[in-house]
Amino acid sequence: MNRIAATERIHADRRDWHNLRGMLPYLWEFRGRAMLALLCLIAAKVANVGVPLVLRDIVDAFEATPHQVLVLPISLLVAYGALKLSASLFNELRDVVFARVRYRAMRRLSTKVLDHLHRLSLRYHLGRQSGAISRDLERGTRSVSTILNYVAFSVLPVLVEFTLVAVILFKQYSPAFALVVFGTVAVYFTFTFAITEWRMDYRHRMNRLDSEANNQAFDSLINYETVKYFGNEHMELARYDGTLAEWEEMAVKSQTSMSLLNFGQGAIIAIGVTLIMAFAANGVVKGEMSVGDLVLVNALMLQLFIPLGFLGIVYRQIKYALADMDLVFKLLERRPEIQDAPDTKALRLRDGEIRFEHVDFHYQHERAILQDVDFRIAPGQTLAVVGHSGAGKSTLARLLFRFYDVTAGRILIDGQDLREVTQESLRAAIGIVPQDTVLFNDTIYYNLAYGRPEATRAEVERCAEMAHIRTFIESLPDGWDTMVGERGLKLSGGEKQRVAIARAILKQPRILVFDEATSSLDSHTEQAIQQTLAEVAENHTTLVIAHRLSTVVDADLILVLEQGRIREQGTHRALLEAGGHYAAMWDLQQREGPDAPVPVAATDTRDAKPEDPEASA
């Protein structure tokens, strides 16, 4: 166990140095400011160490010539005050100069993390825990400021001051003084590092439990309605409190061990100062040192050991910050599953022809989702895909957007393999109305304009009218400025879907994907929207994933997908005449009514969220 623990500590140390090196690019932008701040720091410490030297001369002046005290010390007193003022001035200048460095580093890292999260694959985001990652990122980005703050304002000042004090002691006094100081500092650091490393396990476990508790609270609030439906408030609270109970236990152990550490540090400093004062007092008694020397040594020790006492706390905080930062840097090291090749070019869109050529796909090797799917959507045509729930229909849309790469085969747009064009240009060419529309917690206008942010207000309003939602918006008290709530919860499913249709229209893409675009609409509204979608899809290459078969009767080609394979294809009339799977589904829906969905195949769950062990790790 000791060998394992030692190996883990070595690995953690390597990670700490790796992460500290990773911070350097964020400092390079303001390297001039950082150097100026360092010079201010050195100047402040020179002035600070100069104060005890002047104080020694003042005391010696009193002792040597008492009758001249009203004349001689005036210049020394002025020097004393000037040094104190200079130390304060240069400290504040250091803070002012370094502020831009510190906060710009935080800003750049936060922006880079968010950008990286957007670049990570859909597989990662389907498996992540929003509450936990939110807390981890908050602590991680804040840790950059913490480390820079402590390094600039605590660690470097102590090192500079320690160097200056050591020079004075070696130059002016017996080597015994320097040996005691160095010995005390060495024992202090050894003790601090050893105890802190032991305590770090508590801190890591506290972080993990804190993130877990935050995720549980976040999850229960997101699923507020579900909690209320089942009356499980007490269960949610019990789960949350159980995690916090473990966190409390770790926090108490962390605090207890910190008290042990603080007492040990205080004892080491007390012994060191006592020994120094004993040597100094002995030197005065023997006549080898003046009273001013005694005052100087005492002042130097206080100046050195008081911040050294805080340095122990600083070391702990830096270790904690490094542990928090490690979460962020590990995230940044995660490579996106889908990446553009170095020589990738933008999609050259001409007619908008789509081809799936013998496509196979699986989320996990043991479970195939699509097998040998082969079809073509001619420019300007509409192709509909129907089938039982879990047949793989929505996966087609995800592959078309290149959220995943195909396992075998290829997907082409105007003869260009999706893997050979940039993701940005590909997605700019496709508009989608998803089945599950999630809106930003902002105004209705913001969510509508999201399809093309540079669009004029008139264009946004026209698209809202085409999606039959303008009248509803203008009837609201706040109109276009109405807040939709988190994930659009203040709107009904049908209202959210019409917002999605409007912003897809606004995007003006060459290729359209309707993923059960009218599944949340009533029959009357659906008929109106279907006419709009038909108008929008005119002269567009369109892929329709159908919920109700009545919505695809006019499609140029209909594919029947079953267990990831194309079982039938043809027009609505041809498929009915064939009397196969499509005809059976049509008959069932006609008997159950126009709103009946495609029957569910209970034995197949191919469109379920992928349970990727890596994604959920």
| Residue-level pLDDT at 557 | 93
Helices (H), 486-559: 493-507, 523-537
Whether 323 shows a pLDDT value over 60: the answer reads yes
Residue 426 counted as domain residue: no
pLDDT score of 40 more than 90: no
**What is the model's pLDDT at position 376?**
93
Residue 482 included in any domain: yes
User: Per-residue confidence at 608, pLDDT binned at 50, 70, 90?
Assistant: very low
Confidence at residue 408, expressed as pLDDT on a 0 to 100 scale: 93
pLDDT at 384: 93
Residue 246 lies in a domain: yes
The residue behind tokens 């390079």 is 28
Flag whether pLDDT at 6 surpasses 50: no
Q: Is 46 exposed, middle or buried (0-12, 13-18, 19+ CB in 10 A)?
A: middle
Q: Are residues 453 and 326 in the same domain?
A: no
Query: Is the distance from CB of 250 to CB of 209 less than 8 angstroms?
Result: yes
Kindly give, in sequence order, each residue whose CB lies less than 8 Å from that of residue 604, ignoring residues fewer than 6 positions away.
388, 389, 390, 391, 563
Q: Which residues pair with 354 in a beta bridge?
A: 377, 413
Residue from 467, 476, 461, 456 nearest 494 by CA: 467
Pull the structure tokens for residue 283. Answer: 């030197």
3-state secondary structure 54-88: HHHHHHHHHHHCHHHCCCCHHHHHHHHHHHHHHHH
Confidence of residue 135 (pLDDT cuts 50, 70, 90): low
SS3 for 21-39 is HHHHHHHHCCHHHHHHHHH
Q: Is the pLDDT of residue 308 over 80?
A: no
Pairing between strand 382-387 and 541-545?
A: parallel
**Does residue 218 sit within a domain?**
yes
Given pLDDT bands bounded at 50, 70 and 90, which one contains residue 92? Answer: confident
Residue 599 has pLDDT above 50, yes or no: no
Looking at the domain assignment, is residue 534 inside a domain? no
Q: Determine the distance from the C-alpha atom of residue 211 to the mean position of all C-alpha atoms in its chain, rounded to a whole number.
A: 13
3-state secondary structure of 598: coil
pLDDT tens-digit series, residues 148-175: 777 777 778 878 877 888 788 778 888 8
**Is pLDDT of 90 > 50?**
yes
Residue 344's pLDDT is 87
Residue 362, strand partner residues: 368
Residue where one domain finishes, among candidates 508, 536, 564 = 508
Residue 2: pLDDT over 70: no
Encoded tokens for 136: 């981890």
Q: What SS3 class is residue 268? A: helix
Q: pLDDT tens-digit profile of 54-66?
A: 878 777 776 665 5
Q: Closest Cα partner for 172 from 288, 80, 81?
A: 288
CA–CA separation, 555 and 527 (whole Å): 15
What pLDDT is attached to residue 406? 92
**Of 266, 300, 333, which marks where a domain is finished?**
333
Contact 533, 501 (CB under 8 A): yes
Q: Is residue 546 part of a domain?
A: no
Q: For residue 116, is pLDDT > 90?
A: no
Percent of residues, the chain, with pLDDT higher than 90: 18
User: Does 12 have pLDDT greater than 80?
Assistant: no
CATH number of the domain that residue 465 is part of: 3.40.50.300
DSSP letter string over 106-159?
HHHHHHHHHHHHHHS-HHHHHH--HHHHHHHHHHHHHHHHHHHHHIIIIIHHHH
pLDDT band at 617; cut points 50, 70, 90: very low
Give me the mean pLDDT over the 1-24 stretch.
Answer: 58
Q: Are residues 458 and 316 in the same domain?
A: no
According to the model, what pLDDT value does residue 481 have?
92
Q: How confident is the model at residue 448 (pLDDT cuts 50, 70, 90)?
A: very high
- pLDDT of 27 over the 80 cut: no
31 and 156 share one domain:
yes
- Give me the pLDDT at residue 378, please: 92
**Cβ contact 433:500 at 8 Å:** yes
Q: Which of 404, 401, 403 is nearest to 427 (CA)?
A: 401
Distance CA 33, CA 94 (A): 9
Checking if the pLDDT of 312 tops 80, the result is no
How many residues does this entry show for the chain? 617
Q: Which residue has the higher pLDDT, 604 or 422?
A: 422
**Whether pLDDT at 527 is above 80:** no
- In terms of domains, do 253 and 134 share one? yes
The packing angle between helices 31-64 and 2-28, to 10°, is: 100
Q: Is residue 425 part of a domain?
A: no
Residue 221 has pLDDT above 80, yes or no: yes
DSSP secondary structure code for residue 599 in this structure:
P
Confidence of residue 73 (pLDDT cuts 50, 70, 90): low
Tell whether the model's pLDDT for residue 503 goes beyond 80: yes
In terms of DSSP bridges, do strands 565-570 and 557-562 run parallel, antiparallel, or are they unpaired?
antiparallel
Whether residues 308 and 446 fall in one domain? no
Q: Is residue 43, in this structure, part of any structural domain at all? A: yes
The owner of tokens 């949610």 is 236
Strands 541-545 and 557-562: unpaired
Is residue 609's pLDDT more than 60? no
Average pLDDT over residues 444-461: 91
Two tokens at 451? 């399809």
Task: Clarify whether residues 167 and 293 are in a common domain.
Answer: yes
Structure tokens belonging to residue 605:
């769950």
Residues 141 and 276 in one domain: yes
321/440 same-domain check: no
Residue 470 belongs to domain spanning: 432-508
Q: Above 50 in pLDDT, residue 443?
A: yes
User: pTM of the entire structure?
Assistant: 0.65
**pLDDT tens-digit map of 487-498:** 788 888 788 888
614 or 82: whose pLDDT is higher? Answer: 82
What DSSP line would sit under 1-14, residue for residue?
Answer: -HHHHHHHHHHHHH
On whether the CB atoms of residues 411 and 399 are closer than 8 A, the answer is yes
Query: What is the reported pLDDT for 614?
Result: 35
Q: Does position 1 have pLDDT exceeding 50, yes or no?
A: no
Where is average pLDDT lowest: 142-156, 280-294, 394-408, 459-473? 142-156
Calculate mean pLDDT across residues 374-403: 89
Higher-pLDDT residue of 527, 469: 469
- The structural domain count of the chain equals 2
pLDDT at 600 over 80: no
User: Buried b / exposed e across 412-433, counting CB within 10 Å, b at 16+?
Assistant: ebbebebbebebebbbebbbbb
pLDDT at 263 over 80: yes
Q: What is the pLDDT of residue 14?
A: 61
pLDDT band, very low/low/confident/very high, at 611 (cuts 50, 70, 90): very low
pLDDT at 93 over 80: yes
Say which residue, 193 or 453, is predicted with more confidence: 453
CATH number of the CATH domain containing 102: 1.20.1560.10
Three-state secondary-structure class, residue 440: coil
Residue that is last in its domain, among 508, 536, 552 = 508
